[in-house]
Amino acid sequence: MSKKDETIIEIPAAIGVRDLADLMGKSPIDVIKSLMTNGVMASINQQIDFDTAAIVAADMDFEAVPEKEDLPESEEGAEKLSAWRQAIANEDKANLEDRPPVVTILGHVDHGKTTLLDAIRNADVQAGEAGGITQHIGAYQTSLKGKLISFLDTPGHAAFTAMRARGAQGADIVVLVVAADDGVMPQTKEAIAHAKAARVPIIVALNKIDKNNANPELVKTQLADNELIPDEWEGDTMVIPLSALSNEGVEDLLEAILLTADSMDIKANPKGDIVGTVIEAEVDKQRGVMATLLVQNGTLKQGDIVVAGGAYGRLRAMFDYKGNRVKIAPPSMPVSVMGINDVPSAGQVFGIVDAERQARYKTKEFLENEKQGKKENASVSLEDLFASYQAGETKELSLIIKADVQGSLDPIVGEMEKLGEGEIGVNILYAETGNIGENDITLATASGAIVIGFNVQAEVNARRLASNEGVSIRLYNIIYRIVEDVEKALKGMLEPTFAEKTLGKAEVLAVFPISKVGKIAGCRVRDGVLRRNAQMRLTRGADILFEGEVSSLKHNKDKVNEVRNGFECGVGLQNFHDIEVGDILQCYVLEKEEIK
């Protein structure tokens, strides 16, 4: 490694002051001084952004570069790469090709999701076709200027998140439908929370702009209040005004989707390993099990043996979204298939195998693992989750907060945000009034979050789902109890810091070689006390020659636990014998610092 390489450090988008100091091998005090010189007041545990960290690094003769990131994870720090993203990550980048973006449409009831879906479905903008849909398969494609877009016709954000909970995360982009005459409603906020938790780009379809009582500017303000700042306000959220009823603005929405997709580098290997997601499945009285599969890597072919969780089968026939029989399905293409022996779960990841014997083995293994997983989930407690944080598996505590009224919710959220300003972040995925429902548990399952309720109840179905999925629900009626519990959790998540405490010093007056033992230092304690169970440091002038454990401590040939100031003693150092007269021994312990 060249000297220049040694001065280049990779820094993430946000980093703690202590972590930055460790990265550069510098004292945190020096980093804090540099920050103060540049007009930034920060504590040792405070997070600073990349630009600020880069300035500090430059002050200390380091060159900061952004930390290299793998393909995005489905949730902050808590989830692994989904199966299909992992498959793409394993591919040779030279074999990756652009694929059509996969889009799902979310939003509040009666804001026009179904009407917009129908408008897109019934209008192939390039070919000018109307209709053409002969069967509903839960997904379809349309094209604009020769570029395909795949849409998932899911029932809503609960289904979208259920896919994430199973590791699928089928959508690349979320279109959030908001009515211009109604604005941001509770279900809109839920949809925003689910989309943000999935870390996918959000495009807002501002629907019903043709209505007399439409108020687009008010809706944009509400969106900004929910951290979706319109691009025309120098934000990063595209807001497309349209009327799904009259088709006005629909083409603009498709263009916005393609523009977003172009900036995302959406790729797959058509010749690679076949991985995809089950969109939906049902039993047809005439044709048996019909499943809609979305191919996300590789090319699915008729005759392939598919394994999807506990279901498998050789594909006897495949149909596109128009009902036409097809022989192959490339990446991002949804197809309805025949031949699977059982109904797979929506959101289940599928792959292919070479032989049916292999498929039977894989499904049996899956069912056994699923059964075992449910047993393990049922026993997971809130304390177990906090223990996983302590083990260093994540550095962020995700919360879903439900309260009885807005007047209670606001101070709780405010207190949680204050607690999240330290080394460990608090990520509030969703905060709203009302009882805890199934949607809250589904979001918690997909995101590894804990559900907190204040003066509310958890619905029966929500409790049942939480029990099955191992989600912790905590109910309170006193706000400070919430703050107290979360604060304890965060302190438990922090890596312990240790401070050195000097116990005493001794000078080496003589060195005694002992057969089969090595050299023993004959010392006089000049200050404090030497202890047998403490750490010892040996220095010679300005050089530190040894730091480690004491192998023996004797006074007048007797083994002792400690020797005090003014007394003489013999000290053996663990696996170290380079001792000379005049060396100084410093005895110390490391004490865990209290978190204030």
162-177 residue pLDDT tens? 555 444 456 788 888 8
Average pLDDT of the chain, as a whole number: 79
Check residues 75 and 7 and name the one with the higher pLDDT: 7
Highest mean pLDDT out of 147-151, 315-319, 515-519: 315-319
Collapsing DSSP to helix, strand or coil, 209 comes out as: coil
Choice between 43 and 210, residue whose per-residue pLDDT is larger: 210
C-alpha neighbours within 13 Å on the C-beta side of residue 425 = 16
Q: For residue 393, what pLDDT is reported?
A: 52
Q: Yes or no: say if 295 and 282 are a contact pair by the CB < 8 Å rule.
A: no
The pTM assigned to this predicted structure is 0.56
Q: Where does residue 392 fall: left (phi above 0), alpha (psi -120 to 50 degrees), or beta otherwise?
A: left
Question: At residue 517, does pLDDT exceed 90?
Answer: no
Q: Are residues 480 and 570 in contact, defined by beta-carbon separation less than 8 angstroms?
A: no
**Closest CA relative to residue 416, chosen from 475, 485, 493, 473:** 485
Q: What is the pLDDT of residue 285?
A: 81
Give the pLDDT of residue 471: 83
In three-state secondary structure terms, 245 is coil
Q: How far apart are CA 479 and CA 486, in angstroms?
A: 11
pLDDT of 136 higher than 70: no
* pLDDT band at 593; cut points 50, 70, 90: low
Check if 275-363 and 382-493 are the same fold. no
pLDDT at 134: 33
Return phi, psi of residue 289, to 5°: -70, 125
Average pLDDT over residues 516-543: 90
Each residue's pLDDT tens digit, 12-42: 767 878 888 888 888 877 888 888 777 777 7
pLDDT tops 60 at residue 364: yes
Pick 363 or 41 by higher pLDDT: 363
Q: Please tell me which residue, 236 or 339, carries the higher pLDDT value.
A: 339
Q: Which CATH superfamily is domain 382-493 in?
A: Translation initiation factor IF- 2, domain 3 (3.40.50.10050)
pLDDT at 596 over 90: no
CA 204 to chain centroid: 24
Q: Is the Cβ–Cβ distance between 546 and 523 less than 8 Å?
A: no
Position 128 pLDDT exceeds 80: no
Say which amino acid occupies 562.
Answer: E
* CATH number attached to the domain at 498-592: 2.40.30.10
Place domain 275-363 in its CATH homologous superfamily: Translation factors (2.40.30.10)
pLDDT for 123 = 53
Which range, 49-53, 137-141, 305-309, 388-392, is most confident? 305-309
Mean pLDDT of 37-63: 78
pLDDT of residue 1: 44
CATH classification of 100-265 is 3.40.50.300, yes or no? Answer: yes
Q: How far is CA 566 from CA 503, 504, 535, 555, in A?
A: 14, 11, 20, 12
- What is the SS3 assignment for 325? strand
Please name the helix (run of DSSP H) or strand (run of DSSP E) that holds residue 570, with its range, or none: strand 568-573
| Residues 176, 256 contacting (CB under 8 angstroms) | no
How far is residue 320's CA from residue 141's CA, in Å, rounded to a whole number? 9
Helix (H, G, I), strand (E, B) or coil at 418: helix
Q: Is the pLDDT of residue 354 over 70?
A: yes
pLDDT of 144 above 60? yes
Query: What is the 8-class DSSP label of residue 233?
Result: G
Residues 6+ apart with CB under 8 A from 328: 299, 300, 301, 302
Query: What whole-number distance in Å separates Cα of residue 32 and Cα of residue 56?
Result: 9
The answer on pLDDT for 75 being more than 90 is no
pLDDT confidence bin for 82, thresholds 50/70/90? low
Is the separation of the CB atoms in 253 and 112 below 8 Å? no
Say whether pLDDT at 476 is over 60: yes
Query: Would the pLDDT of 347 be above 90?
Result: no
Q: Please report the pLDDT score of residue 558 as a whole number.
A: 87
Highest-confidence range of 167-171, 261-265, 438-442, 449-453, by mean pLDDT?
449-453
pLDDT at res. 592 = 67
Please give the share of the chain, as a percent, with pLDDT higher than 70.
Answer: 81
pLDDT at 81: 47
pLDDT tens-digit profile of 407-434? 788 788 888 887 776 556 788 888 888 8
Between 470 and 122, name the one with better pLDDT.
470
Q: What is the average per-residue pLDDT within 199-209?
A: 89
- The answer to whether residue 133 scores a pLDDT higher than 80 is no
If pLDDT is split at 50, 70 and 90, which confidence band does 538 have?
very high
**Where are the domains positioned within the chain?**
3-66, 100-265, 275-363, 382-493, 498-592
